[in-house]
Amino acid sequence: MFNRENLRSLLLQLDGRGYKAYKDIRGSYQFSDFKLIIEHIQGDPFAAPSKFIVKIPQAIAQFPDNLYQSSSREVALRDYLTRQFDRVAQEMSSYRGTGKSGLIAIAHTGQEVLERTSAFIDNNEIEIRFLVGLPARGRTILGRQAAQMLCDEIPEIVNRTLKYNSLDANEIQRHVETNEDADWVRQKLKEKGLVAFIANSSILPRRSGIDLRPLLENVVAFQSPKSLEVEFNCPNRGIIKGLGIPTGIILIVGGGYHGKSTLLQALELGVYNHIFGDGREFVITNPAAVKIRAEDGRSVAGVDISPFINQLPQGRSTTQFSTENASGSTSQAANIIEALEVGAELLLVDEDTAATNFMIRDRRMQQLIAKDKEPITPFIDKVRQLYNDYGVSTILVMGGSGDYFDVADTVIAMENFYPLDVTEKAKLIAKENTSDRISEGGEEFGKITPRIPLSETIDPSRGRRAVKLKVRDIDEVAFGTEEIDLVAVEQIVDPAQLRAIAEAIVYAKAMYMDDKQIISAILAQVMADIQAKGLDILTEFPQGDLALFRHFEFAAALNRLRALKVK
């Protein structure tokens, strides 16, 4: 095998030649401490950067195995290594010519700790996948700069970030322990009868809509009311106390600007773990929690929304409701049914993003518009049945209507960013001031009808390419010739998740969509495959830019495919 000096002289020889000559450096090189594998070479300096892999033996890296023994710890350590590599790569990376020349980059990480394909560790070795923008001026190879990047800078990054002795042992320990404790709390929620937990002294608000780090100034740390306080005895940090949100129907009320939506947003993302220092490390939510909102304009494919909507004008079916352009209420109904179809256990709803006519219908409106003239059965008349029949809880932010007092089990008021338990008070008010509404929901929630996706309607091809996928941030996937709009799917936190989801749809079609299996069964098999064999099964070649996703967001992407047809 070639070594570092062979690579250096090869690159120096390429200096001044046309960009295509870079293809000659594909292959493996044995450096003194690690192996460098050049997997894929970009076609030109503007194309997607070249794909590199570093493999460093544990004999040299020397990470103690207790840092990756459990799967919680392993995911955290892999995340940690990615962050370290990212930090030093950013420092090294510089503009060195045309296009992406000079770039050294690994998957970008945010506040969440996700399982990613950028870093792997086992008893044998560490594997890191990253990108390099091979340098050129115009289309002329800059061989000396390339030699500096590949033969000097990459070894320095490896030295500083992939050897245990060059890292902060305490920080690593804290990173893996925090992740393990968070997983542990999440796993214990059910046996305590909770859907979520928010530790005292958590910091919920973010700096801004585009800066998701914790707010620093004038911030009120979270403090549970005594009546709802619970504690967990975590394996690493020991006892931790905070607000335990019980199963059932939970109402979050309070004046405008008192922190209701901030609380709900933290709960939405509590299905993921967060890095130490995020402020939401111990905001832990049932992993089957799904944010529900109105999303007018979305397409819907054959969803049975009849628990909520019946007798639409012009006799449109609501047991197999399809549309290219859903309204606020029908989109919200479809979002709920689709979440239930794939096993949601907790719905999160914020009045800010809900359709009012879907949420409430008060006494006066009931008198003016008779039930047989209103297709919508409002959520207020179904939320209890949903819990009774299917065990699905709902957390609802609702500052604008007290009608929900009648159906709530727990009412939490946000006051100056502090949660108060006002359940008793709300119940008393409900008793003394009856809403006089007529309940319109019937005895039962209604059937949830599973759907079978028709394989031929899912087409990732574009032009001559059988599969063409492209992800734009966390909001959109170009899937073949179609754009899937995921702006309203708020629990996708990373473009790498969306990339994996797009690949997973292609994988699901190839492996399991036989026009017989229902959506939930297909998703379960794909998730089981990923669990057993890793995200690499989704792609032909190893990629460093995939991150694990939940099957709920996978379903959300599938359901928003405009071409989708079901039976």
For binding to Mg ion (CB under 5 A), which residues are involved?
261, 352
Name the DSSP letter for residue 513. -
Map tokens 């493996």 to a residue: 28
Q: Which one of 48, 220, 487, 510 is in contact with ligand ADP (CB under 6 A)?
A: 220
CB of 255 to Mg ion, least distance (A): 10
The residue of the chain with the least Cβ separation from Mg ion equals 261
Vertex 72, ends 66 and 77: CA angle to 5°? 60
Q: CB under 6 A: which stretch of 50-58, 215-223, 375-383, 535-543 binds ligand ADP?
A: 215-223
Q: What are phi and psi of 54, to 5 degrees?
A: -115, 135
62 exposed, middle or buried (CB, 10 Å; 0-12, 13-18, 19+)? exposed
Closer to Mg ion by CB, 156 or 352: give it: 352
CB of 243 to Mg ion, least distance (A): 18
Q: CB under 6 A: which stretch of 52-60, 70-78, 249-257, 507-515 binds ligand ADP?
A: 249-257
If binding is defined by CB under 6 A, does position 204 make contact with ligand ADP?
Answer: yes
* Residue 256 contact partner, candidates ligand ADP, Mg ion, none, CB within 5 to 8 A by sort of partner: ligand ADP
Cα 25 to its chain centre, rounded Å, is 37
Q: Using alpha carbons only, how large is the chain's radius of gyration in Å?
A: 26
Q: CB under 6 A: which stretch of 90-98, 257-265, 311-319, 446-454 binds ligand ADP?
A: 257-265
* Residue 527 contact partner, candidates Mg ion, ligand ADP, none, CB within 5 to 8 A by sort of partner: none
Both tokens of 237, joined, read 């940090």
Closer to ligand ADP by CB, 220 or 428: give it: 220
Alpha carbons 56 and 34: distance in angstroms, whole number: 4
The site that binds ligand ADP (CB under 6 A) totals a number of residues, namely 16
CB of 85 closer than 8 Å to CB of 128: yes
Binding mask 417-456 for ligand ADP (x = CB under 6 A): x---------------------------------------
CB of 347 to Mg ion, least distance (A): 17
CB of 252 to ligand ADP, least distance (A): 9
* Residue 454 contact partner, candidates ligand ADP, Mg ion, none, CB within 5 to 8 A by sort of partner: none
If binding is defined by CB under 6 A, does position 256 make contact with ligand ADP?
Answer: yes
CB of 297 to ligand ADP, least distance (A): 24
- 426-to-269, 379, 404, 413 alpha-carbon distances in Å: 28, 19, 10, 10
List the one residue out of 329, 456, 418, 339 whose CA is nearest residue 386.
339
* Residue 528 contact partner, candidates Mg ion, ligand ADP, none, CB within 5 to 8 A by sort of partner: none
The beta-strand segments (E) located in 401-463 are 410-415, 418-421
CB of 308 to ligand ADP, least distance (A): 25
Q: What are phi and psi of 241, to 5 degrees?
A: -115, 155
CB of 139 to ligand ADP, least distance (A): 48
Helix (H/G/I), strand (E/B), else coil: 246: strand
Closer to Mg ion by CB, 352 or 515: give it: 352
Return the axis-axis angle of helices 519-533 and 551-559, rounded to nearest 10°: 130
If binding is defined by CB under 6 A, does position 260 make contact with ligand ADP?
Answer: yes
CB of 376 closer than 8 Å to CB of 312: no
Q: How many CB atoms within 10 Å of residue 330?
A: 28
CB of 317 to Mg ion, least distance (A): 35
Closer to ligand ADP by CB, 219 or 448: give it: 219
Closer to Mg ion by CB, 152 or 352: give it: 352
The beta-strand segments (E) located in 210-320 are 229-234, 238-246, 249-254, 273-274, 283-285, 289-292, 300-303
List the one residue out of 115, 146, 132, 171 whose CA is nearest residue 54.
132
Q: Which one of 262, 310, 320, 539 is in contact with ligand ADP (CB under 6 A)?
A: 262
The number of helix segments (H) and strand segments (E) in the chain equals 15, 26
CB of 333 to ligand ADP, least distance (A): 24
Which residues from 389-418 bind ligand ADP, rule CB under 6 A? Answer: 414, 417
Q: CB under 6 A: which stretch of 96-104, 253-261, 381-389, 512-520 binds ligand ADP?
A: 253-261
CB of 253 to ligand ADP, least distance (A): 9
CB of 22 to ligand ADP, least distance (A): 48
If binding is defined by CB under 6 A, does position 259 make contact with ligand ADP?
Answer: yes
List the one residue out of 109, 150, 152 whose CA is nearest residue 132.
150
CB of 352 to ligand ADP, least distance (A): 7
Both tokens of 52, joined, read 């590199």
Which residues from 28-87 bind ligand ADP, rule CB under 6 A? Answer: none
Alpha carbons 266 and 274: distance in angstroms, whole number: 11
Q: Parallel, antiparallel, or unpaired for β 273-274 and 112-113?
A: antiparallel
Closer to Mg ion by CB, 224 or 265: give it: 265
Q: CB under 6 A: which stretch of 60-68, 217-225, 269-277, 443-451 binds ligand ADP?
A: 217-225
Q: Which one of 258, 280, 384, 551 is in contact with ligand ADP (CB under 6 A)?
A: 258
Q: CA 70, 72, 74, 80 torsion: positive or negative?
A: negative
DSSP letter string, 211-230: --SBP-TTPPPP---GGGEE
* Residue 135 contact partner, candidates ligand ADP, Mg ion, none, CB within 5 to 8 A by sort of partner: none
Closer to ligand ADP by CB, 183 or 281: give it: 281
List the one residue out of 242, 239, 294 whose CA is nearest residue 263.
242
Alpha carbons 6 and 28: distance in angstroms, whole number: 11
Q: Which residues contact ligand ADP (rule: CB under 6 A)? A: 204-205, 215, 218-220, 254, 256-262, 414, 417
